[in-house]
Amino acid sequence: MDLKNNLQQLKDHVSQQIHDAKKIDQVEKIRVNLLGKKGELTKLLKGLKDLPNEQKPVIGKLANQIRLMLEKSIEDKKKDLNEAFFEKRMDSEKIDVTLPGRRPEIGTKHILQQIQDQIEDHFISQGYEVKYGKEIESDEYNFERMNLPKDHPARDMQDTFYITKNILLRTQTSAMQARSMDQHDFTKGPLKMISPGQVYRRDNDDATHSHQFHQVEGLVVGKNVSLADLKGTLQSLTDELFGKGHAMRLRQSYFPFTEPSIEVDISWNLVDENTAPEDIDWIEVLGAGMVHPNVLRMSHLDPNKYSGFAFGLGPDRFAMIKYGIDDIRNFYFDDIRFLKQFKQVGE
């Protein structure tokens, strides 16, 4: 009878413990205390053998029922606690899909790249090819083929960074003139190309000079190409880029590779026919001219049959005029507040 009572008490006591448990490892401890080798139920069952024979099956059955029942409530409790744990976690980690996301900041094309793109688009629409040259050039193409032999005094205007005696950081995209003429098949028609890129000079940086800046070279070579074609070409470019209010002025100039040579100024300010000449602020934006016969000859073209015009423009200065920027160094400081102002439409 004692054993039966003890079993009943154990059942009530352990059921209560299971009910009160708050964590899975507590439940596991209860299980071990009850059913382990030294567990309480195991201990009680050892008393079975001392019972009178007729009681053995009855108490044995009871003990078994209690064991099964407690095992089941231990498993159920574990399951409940596990579920509760996950539910709590799901609640705390809930994602509110209706919250607006954080937009990644998308950069914008550098203002100089935008200007270069506009210039490229303009010329592509007129049937020009775009050729990208190399910033490291040979003395031959940068100077000699441009009619600037080794000791030519005009080289002084374009001192640069030398890598070896004959390899240098190009001072002008004009090197691409000779390279394009070398490659072009003139039996198939005229050569029309532009070549944008960076150039280098040993210049002291100031508001309108930078030791590294950009140029877009232009070259048209064919039959009967004239200075009037050059003027019309430049006029249509500046009209498109700046709108019609900016005046253009051609000045006589000198470059060893063009004859005659001109320089082109654009007015900073908007002008009309009533603006007095002294009220116009000019800035030089490009050099140009008719391709020198020597340059044609060096590219194996007969100057009596072929003529051409060339120009080299400064997109940095174009951007300064277009956006009213008064210091070229702004383009190269990479101050995000400056750059952010030039978001493209659609960005």
Positions touching ligand PHE (CB under 6 A) are 172, 174, 255, 258, 287-289, 310-312
**Least separation, in Å, of the C-beta of 247 and ligand PHE?**
21
**Which residue's CB is nearer to ligand PHE, number 238 or number 258?**
258
| Residue 239, CA distances (Å) to 119, 232, 233, 244, 277 in order | 12, 10, 10, 5, 20
CB-nearest residue to ligand PHE: 312
- CB 320 within 8 Å of CB 242: no
**Least separation, in Å, of the C-beta of 212 and ligand PHE?**
13
**Which residue's CB is nearer to ligand PHE, number 218 or number 247?**
218
**Which residue's CB is nearer to ligand PHE, number 21 or number 176?**
176
**Which residue's CB is nearer to ligand PHE, number 17 or number 158?**
158
**Least separation, in Å, of the C-beta of 243 and ligand PHE?**
25
Q: At what angle do helices 55-92 and 24-35 cross, to 10 degrees?
A: 170
CA 158 to chain CA centroid, nearest Å = 33
**Least separation, in Å, of the C-beta of 104 and ligand PHE?**
40
C-beta atoms surrounding 313 within 10 Å: 25
Amino acid 197 reads G
Cβ density class 241-272: b for 16+ within 10 Å, e for less: bbeeebbbeeeeeebbbbeebbbbbbbbeebe
Amino acid 24 reads I
**Least separation, in Å, of the C-beta of 244 and ligand PHE?**
25
| Residue 214, CA distances (Å) to 8, 135, 268, 312 in order | 96, 11, 19, 10
**Least separation, in Å, of the C-beta of 338 and ligand PHE?**
26
**Which residue's CB is nearer to ligand PHE, number 17 or number 261?**
261
**Which residue's CB is nearer to ligand PHE, number 160 or number 258?**
258
